[in-house]
Amino acid sequence: MTYQELDPRTPVLVGVGQASERIGEPGYRRLSAVELAAAAVREALADSGADAGAVAGAVDTVAGVRQFEISAPGIPSPLGRSTNYPRSVAARVGAAPRRAILEVVGGQGPQHLVNEMAATIANGEAGVVLVFGSEAISTAQHLAKAEDKPDFGESVEGDLEDRGYGLKGLVSRHQVAHGLTDAPSQYALFDNARRARLGQRREEYAAGMGALFAPFTKVAAANPHAAAPVERTAEELVTPSEKNRFIAEPYTRYVVAREKVNQGAAVLLMSVGEARRLGVPEERWVFLHGHADLRERGLLERADLSGSPAAVLAVRHALEQAGVGVDELAVIDLYSCFPIAVSAVCDGLGLPADGSRELTVTGGLPFFGGAGNNYSMHAIAETVQRLRAQPGTYGLVGANGGSLSKYSAGVYSTTPTPWRADRSAALQAELDSRPGVEQAFQADGWATIETYTVKHGRGGKRTGIVVGRLEADGRRFLATAGDERTLGLLSTGEPIGQRVYVRSFGQGNRVAVDDALMDELFPARPAVLRDDYEHVLVRRDGHVLEVTINRPDSRNSLHPPANDELDQVFDAFFADPDLWVAIITGAGDQAFSAGNDLLYSASGRPMWVPKNGFAGLTSRRNMTKPVIAAVNGFAMGGGFEIALACHLVVADATTRFALSEVKVGLVAAAGGLVRLPRALPGKLATEMILTGRRLSAAEALEHGLVNRVTEPGQALEGARALAREILESSPTSVRASLQIMAETQGIADVVDAVTYPSPALDDLMVSEDVTEGLTSFAEKRPPRWRNR
């Protein structure tokens, strides 16, 4: 195809620019992220070869890559930040776009935005587009405590299409509970799985990582924008030392993406029609010949943790669309945050990963710099420059985001080509249809290691992270290890395929080399009542146990230590045959329980609940004996969820029930979202959940949410009276009744539920209580229950 045959709406890259600075070097200006991006945009405008002012005035769309400090909630900005990053940059270069976009999190962002904006231009929805990103992390950390620190904060008016963090599928509570939140640990799992698949020893695999990355350091050493322009040998990269300590095995610091950078990059796209109108010379034009955007399942759902099918499929499709093979590429840049991000693509495409072929144009993330999400914008800029110097050749940029989660690919050339839509949607459907892996969130029993890593903290602390499969059913689990024997297994030889023992706790799953060590590390807790609880009061009254949450100064809210004590108390209650009924209440007259201790949570200390749930009740499966909630005052959030989990509720007239979690950005995840709609009319339950509406004791009684309402301050006495009534019945019959109700709750057909063959009935028929009940009835005397 000739230039003259091109459709005027054909998208074309006409300008690229980069900007950077390093602390302590000549010319360091303490530039903000906005200023670095603006400098890169000015370079891109000038690079087009047209009048920069005219081009800036023609820009109708700007798209910014999300900076690291706005990539997740709670990340600090020690020097401040813009409220509208894309428009801040646009204003500095004289652009007044009608549309401004802030992209989601992920290193795929730069290439994805180029793919998307090219399609937008081809569809006639944009004419001139600037895509850019930047980071000033090095400066922000360097000047955070300086007396004369600059203020990078600015408030900018104008519409902003903020696409949010885009973290769905990248972060889970389960991973957080097991410390699997940092990128080095996540990627280490992949590299260790790959090593085992290849059958390589640790030393052999480390040498391969060094051989892969040593050529990257040579490229970085020659790149004026590199954050660490130092050439290193393969051995130096992977040999642990004081400066090159282990981060997460098998990674030493030198092979981990470098976060301290001051860098910005920009790409200028426009339609062929606009390029001609603005006078952009044709020798500046670079075309997108192939492109794709795909994503993987969540980390623990993937069938194979040793590779990245989505990345390989995305690159293959982009190459097929461009009509070229991998051997025809003159330029390649593969996202290189960690070795596996490169080697997984090399494995899938048949590319050598031994340094014999150049796989980066910048120097790669550990050496050029890889903070935040904008690395691949630099790769695109370098690729465009190289292709202009070699007209007619082809270049590939592969951009990775998340934990090998999202991959965007682009194939570029100066050779004119019409715009072609990709088949990413169909390919994504194919990926999504592939079978995943069933997970065991609470894992118990013998298992085998599937992959692993050992995290190395400062001060010598080590933590093992294991992904394994349960022997019983093959489900996958995530667990941690901290003892020296298990860490020794993970740090020497070949752990993958080894037999280990896993056990679940409220804080997560723990793994050990065998069951004996597990018992030694976590000895069984005797299920007996104590008299030295710090946050709970207990009182035995015959067959009744009274449990009082004793934190009145915090409205009886619960934090992990209090939850743990309550869990122990109820373990003892259900294990003790002489205790037939339990009552739970709150100290004082203000609150039964205000739920989670939000002040404790806000302090940054770890929050967790026992396996049996909030207060040791909300997730307890075998509630075989009746528990009565004596609700005095407010039962808010988790406090209400405790009451909902109890079999019976007595409330005093002052009681107010509410699920107030939505008021503080949470949800009632300890059972409120499930139990309340089953206990109240649907519309009322929904209103309470969505608004935090408070329900009075009288309303609760009307709707059957509570059994009895007492005078103010008399809830405990009311619960005691109810307990005495229960004690008049056979404890064996009470237990059997509770068991049969629980077993048949999910059976929709009434006859099926009635005829359900519960073992509780068989046990009851041979119990002494049956004989005693019938005998006492015949003899017209009170029964003497045996509870056997």
Give the model's pLDDT for residue 396. Answer: 98
Q: How far apart are CA 650 and CA 710, in angstroms?
A: 7
Model pLDDT for residues 188-234, shown as the tens digit of each residue: 999 999 999 999 999 999 999 999 999 999 999 999 999 999 999 99
Average pLDDT on 116-128 reads 98
What pLDDT does 244 receive? Answer: 96
In the predicted structure, residue 599 carries a pLDDT above the cut 90: no
Instruction: Let me know the angle formed at the C-alpha of 371 by 368 and 372, rounded to the nearest 5 degrees.
Output: 140
- pLDDT at position 704 over 80: yes
**Residue percentage of the chain with pLDDT more than 70:** 100
Region 547-566 average pLDDT: 95
Q: What is the percent of the chain with per-residue pLDDT over 90, rounded to a whole number?
A: 85
CB 376 within 8 A of CB 399: yes
Tell me the average pLDDT across 135-155.
94
Query: Per-residue pLDDT tens for 482-498?
Result: 999 999 999 999 999 99
Length of the chain: 788
Q: pLDDT at position 758, please? A: 87
Predicted pLDDT at 171: 83
Mean per-residue pLDDT over the chain, rounded: 95
Using 50, 70 and 90 to split pLDDT, how confident is the model at 66? very high
641 included as an active-site residue? yes
Integer CA distances (angstroms), 127 to 118, 263, 636, 658, in order: 10, 27, 55, 53
Q: Per the omega criterion (within 30 degrees of 0), is the bond before 731 cis?
A: no
Higher pLDDT, 591 or 766: 591
**Element holding 264 (H helix, E strand):** strand 262-271
Catalytic residue, from 35, 43, 565, 661: name it: 661
pLDDT at 77: 92
- Give the pLDDT mean for 385-404: 97
Report the pLDDT value the prediction gives residue 777, as an integer from 0 to 100.
Answer: 85
pLDDT at 787 over 90: no
Contacts of 294 (CB under 8 A, 6+ apart): 310, 311, 313, 314, 406, 407, 424, 427, 428, 431
Is residue 74 over pLDDT 90?
no
Q: Which of 21, 103, 249, 641 is catalytic?
A: 641
Kindly list the distances between the CA atom of residue 107 and the CA atoms of 182, 285, 463, in Å, as whole numbers in the listed order: 15, 25, 27
Segment 20-55, tens digit of pLDDT = 999 999 989 999 999 999 999 999 999 999 999 999
Q: Does the pLDDT of residue 527 top 80, yes or no?
A: yes
Of 52-56, 101-105, 531-535, 598-602, the least confident = 598-602
Q: Count of CB atoms within 10 A of residue 435's CB?
A: 7
Question: Taking a C-beta distance cutoff of 8 angstroms, is the pair 158, 84 a contact?
Answer: yes
What residue has token string 């009565």?
628
- Give the residue with greater pLDDT, 765 vs 655: 655
pLDDT level of residue 761 (50, 70, 90 thresholds): confident
Mean pLDDT calculated for residue range 301-330: 97
CA distance 731 to 767: 11
State which amino acid sits at residue 454: V
Q: Is 589's pLDDT higher than 80?
A: yes
Does 372 score more than 90 pLDDT?
Answer: no
Mind listing the pLDDT tens digit for each residue in 395-449? Answer: 999 999 999 999 999 999 999 999 999 999 999 999 999 999 999 999 999 999 9
CA 227/CA 72 separation, integer angstroms: 24
Could you confirm whether 125 is annotated as catalytic? no
pLDDT at 788 over 70: no
